[in-house]
Amino acid sequence: MLDKEKFVTIITGLCEMYNQKSSEFVFNVYYQIFKNYSVERIEKAIMNCIKSHKYNTMPKPATILEFLEGSKEDKALSAWIQVMEGIKKAGYYNTVEFRDPIVSHCIDSLGGWMWLCSQDKSQLPFIEKRFLELYQIFMKREIERPILLIGYFDAVNCKKGYDTTKVVKIGFVPETALIGKDN
């Protein structure tokens, strides 16, 4: 959680730099937007933002957020890279779950996991373009729950009443990477 006092100092300095009046309202709005980030990350994002900010107005929260998280286009492209990783790792036959719930909704809208995996490589640039568009649309909908994307094995097993196979997880941090880290 973000230290509010340090954050107020940062925003006060930012306001002074751009001759902007600071107020309780401005502090609260900025704090609510950035409260889930560390002071270090916010300071770095603001410094990078200031370096490239071309106007004499105080950067809006959305501008600073782009330096924290990347643009919508950056996020969509990163998600497409995860999709390609998923195709290589799980393929047509395995059921997958993506950590980013927007990814699974995009794939479902395109036609589903098995459909995507069965497409010819020559079609991938067109599918990628549509995926990137869908991703940006779904980002606005605040999707929080992923859809399990069914592979061929589970599709057949479910029809026959058999157990499902193990789900291949894409984009999740392996549990072994968390050992020894403070949570």
The type of residue at 3 is D
Domain ranges, residue 18: 4-69
State the Cα–Cα distance between residues 49 and 64, nearest whole angstrom.
6
Q: Are residue 80 and residue 60 in the same domain, yes or no? A: no
How many other CB atoms are found less than 10 A from the CB of residue 101? 16
Mean pLDDT of the chain: 90
Q: Are residue 57 and residue 78 in the same domain, yes or no? A: no
Residue pLDDT, tens place only, 130-161: 999 999 999 999 888 988 999 999 999 988 88
Q: How far apart are the first and last CA of the chain?
A: 12
How many other CB atoms are found less than 10 A from the CB of residue 39? 15
pTM: 0.75
Q: Report the domain count for the chain.
A: 2
